[in-house]
Structure 1
């Protein structure tokens, strides 16, 4: 039998992820602070629960995909949180990009309550979520991870166990560090092409298959060319991720100047009202 899934957080990516699980035949219960965000899922068969506590008592595997570490803490801890109310033996999967230290804390507290916790942040944006092609970076006990691999297979095409609790989040920080500097290069290349009088679509065709190729170049540059700055991933959430990565790096005694520069550029965009735009809106810094 397939486990009953609880899904908390139905934003840009969470909604598509929960929808894929419904299509795969799972019973999905959902809760989100803004009920209207779950409307489409409910119309497609998801079951609404009025609180985290109610959802926890009805499900076997609970997936969270919320915004910030503080949101993760609110969902997992306290008298109305998942750890106090989930059924014994339940598996808790946090797919939010959050702090590695918080992931470790959740795993420790969950174990005290005879629960199992996995940190499994994702990469791939709204496109990857819709198409079930996310990259899933997994931390937690190996035998627990094995139990939920069928779920990961519905959500992603690349799901890799990285190690114990927190390892998934550390790996996601590597992902975000790589993307941060890449976005600067991708954006500057596009601005340069346009200023040189080149057709950006033809330039993209030439360079995306060579050494400059990247997911960001292939998927986000076409959006910029169309002047589509809608969020596949919010700038405000990217700033959050870069902050976590910088703090984590500092704890390890590492200086990451490229990451710090990217964060400064995105923070300036946020101050100019672009916090809810997609990360490709970095283009607006240059024009």
Structure 2
């Protein structure tokens, strides 16, 4: 299939690479051409704009960092829809309302659109094991499945916007778990426990899970490199909180996590991985006081 890919960051580059390796004709574009160097060496075609990336494509995938960037890249004068691809699949995490507008604009132009955000991080993008949450028309989804399956497991969840709404539910759970692991780490540190032994024990019980196994070893070695950036989580939680407020819900856990991440971003930590939440002042264990009491 002739595929376009817009956005070659932590997630986009390995996703585009998998599509190329699977034998699809891939055309790519990004803010920086150097991010496409390895893909071009492997046979991908470069396009100067999202519009150029989309011309003559069966499917164009978009993986960009925020709502405004997606809106411009898809709906702008040099955007994807101006290039007339058969299908555009926005795999970013954006506002459900934007997904609905993209779908409406695509339909008015005789094109099709899906919102198809993903979960699984860079490792899932590399390994083709992403969970892909899709909103849109069943026929459009069916036509896209052969390509989506190269990247992971796609599931149609309802009409336009449904994929994004499901991703916001996912991100609320991720943020809550990241916060919980960070607090558990801080408590274990404060108690003077053997941190490796604690992880071994709790990972085998009901508290175990992928995020615990991702975060705990990194915290032990002080690794705060991003698998998912703090600033991205702030954006996702803001979207989730907006949806919740419209439904009359008070998501206290989401609000607390959002505030901690926002505090860290304000002090220059927004580009770090979300595990850096342990650097928040509220999570600094006071081991000296405990030692004095023992």
Aligned 1:56-135 pairs, distance under 5 A: 56-87=54-85, 90-135=86-131
Question: Is the contact between residue 124 and residue 135 of structure 1 (CA under 8 Å) also seen in structure 2?
Answer: yes
Distance 2:122 2:195 in 1: 23
Distance 1:128 1:198 in 2: 32
Question: Is the contact between residue 84 and residue 113 of structure 1 (CA under 8 Å) also seen in structure 2?
Answer: no
Of 214, 217, 226, the match for 2:212: 217
Name the SS for the 1:220 alignment partner: helix
Distance 1:31 1:219 in 2: 31
TM-score normalised by the chain length of structure 1: 0.95
Q: Which residue of 1 aligns with 2:26?
A: 28
Distance 2:169 2:74 in 1: 25
1:262 aligns with 2:257: yes
Distance 1:40 1:234 in 2: 23
Distance 2:263 2:244 in 1: 22
RMSD (Å) for aligned C-alpha atoms: 1.2
CA distances 1:229-255 after superposition (whole Å, capped 9, x unpaired): 111111111100000111111111111
Name the SS for the 1:163 alignment partner: coil
CA distances 1:93-131 after superposition (whole Å, capped 9, x unpaired): 000000001101100110011111000001111111111
Name the SS for the 2:242 alignment partner: helix
Q: CA deviation at 1:78?
A: 2.8
Gap runs ≥5 in structure 2: 285-294
Gap runs ≥5 in structure 1: none
Aligned length in residues:
282
CA distances 1:53-92 after superposition (whole Å, capped 9, x unpaired): 21111321000000101011101113222222214xx110
